[in-house]
């Protein structure tokens, strides 16, 4: 059995448990690609992406703003692997509101 380790690639200057925007990605390592057909990414209990890449952008997976918990599995025609570790994070997709500027006497 192969261990799949799921990591989160964060944009610069964000907190560990929070990431932002379209550059946020989930990535994982898997060294036995010849024995699998692909990967399935699950977030918040639902399958959100299937493919052969070992990295996926949040927007590509349809992950919206808010808190999420995700894991990945490998699959082939016979079965699906056990889940990887779970990554929990909060995705921020909107910039903060602009401050109101005023001139004071």
CB burial string 32-59: b at 16+ within 10 A, e below: eeeebeebbbbbeeeebbeeeeeebbbe
**CATH 2.60.40.10 correct for 5-92:** yes
Per-domain residue ranges of the chain: 5-92
Per-residue pLDDT of 6-51, as tens digits, reads: 554 433 323 334 455 556 788 888 888 888 999 999 999 999 999 9
**Number of C-beta neighbours around residue 18 at 10 A:** 14
Per-residue pLDDT of 57-96, as tens digits, reads: 887 788 888 888 999 999 999 999 999 989 888 887 777 7
Q: Does this model's pTM top 0.95?
A: no
């Amino acid at each position: 059995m192969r261990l799949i380790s799921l990591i989160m690639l964060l944009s610069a200057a964000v907190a560990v448990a929070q990431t932002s925007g379209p550059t946020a990605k989930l990535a994982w390592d898997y060294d036995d690609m010849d024995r699998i057909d692909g990967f399935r990414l699950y977030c918040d209990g639902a399958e959100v992406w299937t493919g052969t890449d070992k990295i996926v952008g949040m927007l590509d997976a349809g992950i919206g703003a808010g808190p999420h918990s995700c894991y990945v599995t490998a699959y082939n025609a016979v079965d699906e692997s056990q889940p990887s570790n779970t990554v929990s994070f909060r995705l921020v997709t909107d910039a903060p509101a602009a401050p109101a500027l005023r001139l004071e006497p």
